[in-house]
Structure 1
Amino acid sequence: MVTSGNNYKDKVSQLISWGHWFSFFNIIAAMLLGTRYIAHSEWPESILGQLYLGLSWVGHFGFLVFGFYILVLFPASFLIPSQRLMRLFAVLVGTIGLTGLLLDTHAYESLDLHLSPLVWDLLLSGEKTDLNARWQYLFVAVPAIFLMQLILSEWLWRKLRKLTRKHVGVPIAMIFGFCFLSSHLIYIWADANLYRPVTVQRSNFPLSYPMTAKTFMEKHGWLDRQEYAKRLDAQGIAESEHIRYPMNKLAFNDQGTGQNVLIVMIDSLRSDMVNKETMPYLTAFAQQNLNYSNHYSASNENAGGVFGLFYGLPAGYINSVRSANSSPVLLDTLKRRGYQFGLFSGNGFETSIYSEAIFSSRKLAKIADETNTNSDTKAIADWKDWLDTQSNDSPWFSYIELASIENFEEDGDFAPQFEPSLSSSDSNPANIDTTQLLKNSYRNAAYYVDELLIDVFDQLVANNALDNTVVVITSNHGNEFNETGTNSWGAETNYSRYQLKVPFIMHWPGSVPAQTTRATSHLDLVPTLMESLLATTTPVTDYSSGVSLFETSPKRRWVLAGSDRDIVVLQKNTTTVVDKHGNYRVYDQDYKLKSGGKPKLSTLMQVMHELKRFYQPE
């Protein structure tokens, strides 16, 4: 029995020693495969960023493979008594691990995503695409990986005694440990200081979760959390990639039509509010002009919706644009053509994207009456005064933001056209349905804004400007009153049609009134103005993800929306939401979760391409 016990201990000791060396050489193999992530990722510009890349490359794959050894092979060394059987088990584990890593590099190169439920569904789908074809070819490498592991296993077992005498295990472990610990310490500092050359590498490698210590640093007085949040929000560059916008220099046929442009942004106005009861004047204006009745904002939040309208890009690019301080090509072109700018807002351009990107190079109009909580009337009055100063010699671009509807709960003192409303709820609150109360108050605000629009239209007519002005009336996003039954109110709570579908009405001088029912997007305004107003000959794909609204039959099977966190694909009967980790949910047209619903591979491939197209290197 004593002899048997010693034999067991010797076998386990040999297998553990062999397992260390087997893991070491698999670490080297994993690092070599890991160079595919480095080749596909943005190369750090600073020396510290490059140092972090090297340390994290060595440390992460060392920790990843050794972690699998500790969790799988080390316990198995005690449970599998036969060294041949144990080595075969290790070979299978190594083959599966390297194959999984190979597939992950393929997913990262093709979709900029690591393996996730979405990626697996895409790879295993029955659709015949280039992605699936290339993925299937990868399995040709599996026998080669298995054979390599077998050869490595046998060679290490024969050379085990010789390798053990070298006493290099501790120095090697110290190197990997130093790289792992150093990379995390660098990331802690970079995260606290929003140092982009390091933080942008957060998701380069699979299963990478760099350490942060904001709570610890805050506790010891080394970090002011509020000041950090301000810097993070202001910069928006912690994980943004460099953008190339536009992709090529713009070319033009001529100086364009020289027509004026007026955009009226009615914050938080959903599409179905444009009806004869709620907004009769805007409804009449829509009937007399171009009404795009199946139109969607680029996002369900303020910044993303406005960003998509002015840049013609999905909201996923917003942080990269803020980081690069890129102004919209539309406004830059108007400025070069000598357009005069008049910018007016009912809430003082409260959304930061205006000052940080869209109008960063232009002076924002200030609302003089700071004490007036509902200052849309002041914004329109200022616009009318400004319009009177414009000469007929120079074209102008004007933007009016109206905030009454978005602030309907705060500024609920509107004319009680629809009752009961917030202004009358004190009479008998117990008998009042809260949803109806809020919706009536919202409609009262819409009715109020509708009357304000009369002033705008009348002023254009009085100044003889309407026949020479492109007028666009739309909204940044919609507003929900829990119609989806998911306890969703307002905006930024889900991606249903109630929060994304908005009015889009355009007066184009000389055009025939028409209602367009095909799906259109905020991303389409920039191509429309650039082509039909400013006469660019540059392909739309060089500066926008949209298509011209005058395109008679665009081949559009989907509309893109979302935020810097989510990708949203709107199709005729479905809405697909994909988060930044690759998890997805498919909803029907009523925004009810579809059990077993899966996105179409070809569609997702097109969407993924569109979301990284402007990041491609020159």
Structure 2
Amino acid sequence: MGKYQRRDKIARLISWGHWFTFANIILCLFIGLLYIEAAPKPSSAIGNLYMLVSWIGHFAFLPFVFFIILIFPFCLVVPYSKILRGFAALITSFGLIALIADALFFRQYGYHLNTYSLAQMTRDAEAVFTGASFVIISAILLGFLLIVGIQLLLANLAWKRLDDLQNRKIGAPVTAVFVLCFFVSHSVHVWADAVLYDPITQQDDMFPLSYPTTAKTLMAKHGVIDVESYQARQQMLMATDQIKLKYPQQPLLCSKTDTQQSTTLVLFDRASSDIQQVLETLAARHRLEK
């Protein structure tokens, strides 16, 4: 293979990798809706707008980093399309199955997968499906094979229709939208973190592998925020969260009365008007005595 031929082939593989990554970005965006649906809704319009921008920017960033770290080097080292397509489909399938598992776990428990949560998920699965370990493992394997099949289909379609995709001229505008959303979300979070704007900062742990940018030191250096005032507000909010109500101050008990009153019941099959009048007179006299 000549020098220029190899260079063109590598360029074609990299271009294919971009479109393959774009297809997985769309899949990740759909999976990301599971996090948005399960998380508490922001209490302001700015918080909702930040959630939208952060959703687009974050789930576009994850597959792109995945491509840069795992697929792009193989485009340079192993410039063979069949091998690369199979490898990319397999690796991407592992990433998607982990993302789906994390999304389902987040919807159930409210936090992301880690060492402890994996043990918790295993215990809960065994409790729900007692004696059905084979069924669970089979379902996971079938799901993984299904995702691998989808990834192989996307990889082959992107390769076969690469020329048509390149002629559509939509790559640059879509990439610009993704990059803009990513930087806008982090820039807005810097402001929200500086002013302790809760509708935005409460979303810090909503998405997996999310580390929103903070710049307290840089902003304090340029006089944008006052560090002492910021720390005082932060401590006040933390103290408010730790307040425990002590109510009631005294036990709520019903006092027991020592006096015992007797009750007399008089039953009549039929009561004439004279008897009714006598009873009403006695009742009135009893009320006056009290």
| Structure 1 length-normalised TM | 0.38
Please report how far the alpha carbon of residue 138 of structure 1 lies from its aligned counterpart in structure 2 after TM superposition.
Answer: 4.8
Q: Paired residue for 1:377?
A: none
Instruction: Return closer, same or farther for 1:31/1:127 CA change in 2, 3 Å cut-off.
Output: closer
Q: Which amino acid aligns with 2:24?
A: N
- For these two proteins, the number of residue pairs brought into alignment is 251
- Please give the residue correspondences for 1:117-266 in structure 2 after superposition, counting only pairs within 5 Å: 117-124=115-122, 128-130=126-128, 137-236=139-238
Q: Paired residue for 1:41?
A: 39
Please report how far the alpha carbon of residue 121 of structure 1 lies from its aligned counterpart in structure 2 after TM superposition.
Answer: 2.8
Higher helix residue share: 2
SS at match of 1:157: helix
Please report how far the alpha carbon of residue 182 of structure 1 lies from its aligned counterpart in structure 2 after TM superposition.
Answer: 0.3
Q: Which amino acid aligns with 1:184?
A: H
Kindly indicate whether the alpha-carbon contact (under 8 Å) linking 2:13 and 2:79 is maintained by their aligned counterparts in 1.
no
Please report how far the alpha carbon of residue 124 of structure 1 lies from its aligned counterpart in structure 2 after TM superposition.
Answer: 4.6
Kindly indicate whether the alpha-carbon contact (under 8 Å) linking 1:123 and 1:131 is maintained by their aligned counterparts in 2.
no
CA distance in 1, matches of 2:51, 2:75: 34
SS at match of 1:128: helix
- Please give the residue correspondences for 1:60-459 in structure 2 after superposition, counting only pairs within 5 Å: 60-124=58-122, 128-130=126-128, 137-236=139-238, 319=241, 328=245, 331=247, 334=248, 397=250
- Which one has more relative contact order, counting CA pairs under 8 Å at least 6 apart? 2
Please report how far the alpha carbon of residue 24 of structure 1 lies from its aligned counterpart in structure 2 after TM superposition.
Answer: 0.5
CA distance in 2, matches of 1:135, 1:222: 54
Kindly indicate whether the alpha-carbon contact (under 8 Å) linking 2:204 and 2:212 is maintained by their aligned counterparts in 1.
yes
CA distance in 2, matches of 1:129, 1:112: 20
SS at match of 2:126: coil
Question: How large is the Cα RMSD of the aligned pairs?
Answer: 2.5
* Runs of 4+ deviating beyond 4 Å: 124-127, 131-139
Taking only the aligned residue pairs, the percentage that are identical comes to 35
Please report how far the alpha carbon of residue 127 of structure 1 lies from its aligned counterpart in structure 2 after TM superposition.
Answer: 7.2
Higher strand residue share: 1
- Please give the residue correspondences for 1:567-578 in structure 2 after superposition, counting only pairs within 5 Å: none
Per-residue CA distance 1:430-484 (angstroms, 9 max, x = gap): xxxxxxxxxxxxxxxxxxxxxxxxxxxxxxxxxxxxxxxxxxxxxxxxxxxxxxx
Instruction: Return closer, same or farther for 1:60/1:135 CA change in 2, 3 Å cut-off.
Output: farther
Per-residue CA distance 1:185-208 (angstroms, 9 max, x = gap): 110000011101100000100000
Please report how far the alpha carbon of residue 10 of structure 1 lies from its aligned counterpart in structure 2 after TM superposition.
Answer: 1.9
CA distance in 1, matches of 2:68, 2:136: 30
Instruction: Return closer, same or farther for 1:96/1:74 CA change in 2, 3 Å cut-off.
Output: same
Kindly indicate whether the alpha-carbon contact (under 8 Å) linking 1:45 and 1:197 is maintained by their aligned counterparts in 2.
yes
State the structure with more CA Rg.
2
Kindly indicate whether the alpha-carbon contact (under 8 Å) linking 2:92 and 2:151 is maintained by their aligned counterparts in 1.
yes
CA distance in 2, matches of 1:25, 1:230: 46
Please report how far the alpha carbon of residue 221 of structure 1 lies from its aligned counterpart in structure 2 after TM superposition.
Answer: 1.0
Q: Paired residue for 1:7?
A: 5
Q: Paired residue for 2:276?
A: none
Instruction: Return closer, same or farther for 1:25/1:534 CA change in 2, 3 Å cut-off.
Output: farther
**Is 1:24 the equivalent of 2:22?**
yes
CA distance in 1, matches of 2:143, 2:160: 26
Please report how far the alpha carbon of residue 125 of structure 1 lies from its aligned counterpart in structure 2 after TM superposition.
Answer: 5.5
| Structure 2 length-normalised TM | 0.79
- Please give the residue correspondences for 1:454-473 in structure 2 after superposition, counting only pairs within 5 Å: none
CA distance in 1, matches of 2:237, 2:177: 36
Instruction: Return closer, same or farther for 1:127/1:159 CA change in 2, 3 Å cut-off.
Output: closer
Q: Which amino acid aligns with 2:149?
A: L
CA distance in 2, matches of 1:44, 1:135: 36
**Is 1:58 the equivalent of 2:60?**
no
Q: Which amino acid aligns with 1:87?
A: R
Kindly indicate whether the alpha-carbon contact (under 8 Å) linking 2:57 and 2:185 is maintained by their aligned counterparts in 1.
yes
Please report how far the alpha carbon of residue 106 of structure 1 lies from its aligned counterpart in structure 2 after TM superposition.
Answer: 1.8
Please report how far the alpha carbon of residue 229 of structure 1 lies from its aligned counterpart in structure 2 after TM superposition.
Answer: 1.0
- Please give the residue correspondences for 1:547-562 in structure 2 after superposition, counting only pairs within 5 Å: none
Give unmatched runs, 5+ long, in structure 1.
237-302, 304-317, 335-340, 342-396, 398-528, 536-618
Instruction: Return closer, same or farther for 1:131/1:45 CA change in 2, 3 Å cut-off.
Output: farther
Instruction: Return closer, same or farther for 1:534/1:83 CA change in 2, 3 Å cut-off.
Output: farther
Kindly indicate whether the alpha-carbon contact (under 8 Å) linking 1:123 and 1:135 is maintained by their aligned counterparts in 2.
no
CA distance in 2, matches of 1:122, 1:135: 15
Instruction: Return closer, same or farther for 1:173/1:225 CA change in 2, 3 Å cut-off.
Output: same
- Please give the residue correspondences for 1:541-552 in structure 2 after superposition, counting only pairs within 5 Å: none
Q: Which amino acid aligns with 2:104?
A: H
CA distance in 1, matches of 2:57, 2:125: 38
Q: Paired residue for 1:607?
A: none
CA distance in 1, matches of 2:186, 2:125: 41
CA distance in 2, matches of 1:130, 1:205: 27
